Structure 1
Amino acid sequence: MALRLVQVNFKARDDVALARFWADALGWGVSSEGAGVTNVNPWTVLADPEGNVFCVLAPS
């Protein structure tokens, strides 16, 4: 059975700025689950059926 990467987690002092950088670089969108948690994912599910996502967290 092969493994495939589907999520990457970063911790950053400015999670929103880092998420915007990666979103611009990948042509993806930015969403938030709440304060200190910002996600970078494809604009539509159809754009990435494998469910790849970047999660950027502010350190606590």
Structure 2
Amino acid sequence: MTAKIRAFFAFWYDFIVGDDWRVALGVALGVAATGAIHTAIPAWWLLPLAVAVLLPFTLWRASRSH
């Protein structure tokens, strides 16, 4: 039973974090910031902005490693 539980959490870790924990952290911070400021102002634009900032960073790191 513990092997199945371990496999379940390993799948979700690999699915969410994937290759770069920095991008996963950036997206999580973007989601948290969107939720935090949503009560004061419309915050729909914050998460696409976070992704637009993180995507070039990810591509730069991937191209630099090869």
TM-score by shorter chain over 0.5: no
Which structure features the higher share of strand residues? 1
Q: TM-score range by the shorter chain?
A: under 0.3
Q: Name the TM-score, length of structure 2 as normaliser.
A: 0.23
Q: Which has the higher relative contact order, 1 or 2, with Cα contacts under 8 A spaced 6 or more apart? A: 1
Tell me which structure has the larger Cα radius of gyration. Answer: 2
Which structure features the higher share of helix residues? 2
